[in-house]
Structure 1
């Protein structure tokens, strides 16, 4: 199987692992401002194909294919408690990966953290789907700035190519009905988020026997800076 699905090779000694899924148009480097460890839990940013150090590889094509390939790669790293975190569109491949683990009889995440995303049976829901090319370009430039960088036209063009492929997947993704996961789900609401409301995320209550809703201060992109309250929430031990 081609490609390295993780930004860093996992250590052999953590008490647990938190696998973090990037959202549309970007890669694992979006977690560059996050620590490498949270209370003994190793932070493991997931790197999808078709971007950054995997730019020469073909796009994954669907969240289901994403999950199937990632699960095969993760098998050696499921030897201790682990959790998944996905924000916005990144929550969907995180969910599908949890489903794939259940289908194949592999260990389930100790926690699935869903941030600012509707449930799969309420998809698609993404503000980017309604934006034109110039609006998407402005969004990519803003994201680079929020991450502490300076937008470069050539790099923005490359990011837009990835973004369009990601949005093509997002546009057609939908589960016909809720799917029960074996592990607990925590749904994270950002109190100043203007892109999605708590009511729109209510559908997640059907996806596990244990679903908790947690409100965190900040807007839609607050998670990029790894705020302490978020990191405390993600310490799933």
Structure 2
């Protein structure tokens, strides 16, 4: 197989997806985050190329207008995604990033385009339960403190300008999360693998059971670690992500 990229560089992907691998894993980041959430991940898991999705309004797309709603985000993603659906693919989303991943899968089905062969759900209740996220009820000072704690947990001493920028992204993303209303389940054509992080204080195992209404095959698995440990690409996670092929 000849090495190379399938399309011109798109702002939706931090690197042009290549033609060197028989499958792709598209990765959706959490609220307030960007594609850098997957910077510690390997470039390939199993035989699937890791393709982090970069939402507008953050990191290298900070100047781009915010997507507004998850439905808008899914609709806007279809065109840059379509040329890359020429081989088997899966979606991975963490926390609120699961919701645009789910909406994108729904949108692809509505348009008659190829859909994911698996949806990996990491630390996120089902769409009809999404409004329960405790962070959506936080005040701005509480969110600022949460952001500082997160950065320190990643070994970064937060500067005021860094926090201000992070808050701008986070508040816009939370606005989209609050606007999201999927009250009735929509069945996906693919299996759903739900990953519960054992040390996650905010998402309980019982709180993930709602996903059983979204596909014929739903597998809820417990994995060691806390809510943001997916960023470290632990071996246990990588092994599970390699099994959809």
Q: TM-score range by the shorter chain?
A: over 0.9
Q: Does 1:78 align with 2:56?
A: no
- 1:191 corresponding residue in structure 2: 198
TM-score by length of 2: 0.92
- 1:176 corresponding residue in structure 2: 183
Give the whole-Å Cα distance in 1 for the aligned partners of 2:200 and 2:171: 24
1:29 deviation in Å? Answer: 0.7
Task: Select which of 90, 97, 110 maps to 2:104.
Answer: 97
1:171 deviation in Å? Answer: 0.9
1:144-223 residue pairs with structure 2 within 5 A?
144-223=151-230
TM-score by length of 1: 0.95
User: Which secondary structure state, in structure 2, belongs to the residue aligned with residue 124 of structure 1?
Assistant: helix
Q: Does 1:8 align with 2:15?
A: yes
Q: Does 1:37 align with 2:47?
A: no
Whether the aligned pair in 2 keeps the contact of 1:124 and 1:172 (CA below 8 Å) is: no
* Aligned CA-pair RMSD: 1.2
Gaps in structure 2 of 5+ consecutive residues = 1-9
1:213 deviation in Å? Answer: 0.7
Larger deviation: 122-131 or 153-162? 122-131
Whether the aligned pair in 2 keeps the contact of 1:92 and 1:120 (CA below 8 Å) is: yes
1:71 deviation in Å? Answer: 1.2
Q: Does 1:46 align with 2:53?
A: yes
Whether the aligned pair in 2 keeps the contact of 1:122 and 1:174 (CA below 8 Å) is: no
Does the C-alpha gap of structure 1 residues 37 and 147 become closer, same or farther in structure 2, counting only changes over 3 Å? Answer: farther
